[in-house]
Structure 1
């Protein structure tokens, strides 16, 4: 009976742990999506003279790299939180 109870506890813990990781990932992805949407909206409102000084591809690349860095940082935080 003890093995059955211990197995039940382990399965329950694994399910809750997986759910926690899923929710943290979903929140992180949602945050990054909102950030990217906001940044692209801002990019579209940049004055034309700014586009003359820098190529649009460079600006988008910079935004994409910055948001990917934030995404990786959030995933690392979620992973570290998941381990604790």
Structure 2
């Protein structure tokens, strides 16, 4: 996986995914992040190999997305270790 430049729309979408557990399309499509093509940047990140999970928001037809932590990162999240 190649990390996109941080000052690109794709880089901003990735940064948002790294900062928050779940993000919605509305979060991604803001002018400050991905703009009107934020969802396209999300698909590009997936095509580049970034493990991005999608699920339906409970009680809604909207979807939310998250960057799936790698095994080592997951262990830190669940154990609080370092």
TM-score, with structure 1 as normaliser: 0.26
**Which one has a bigger Cα radius of gyration?**
1
- The structure in which a higher percent of residues are strand is 2
Pick the structure with more helix per residue.
1
Q: Which has the higher contact order (CA 8 A, sep 6+)?
A: 1
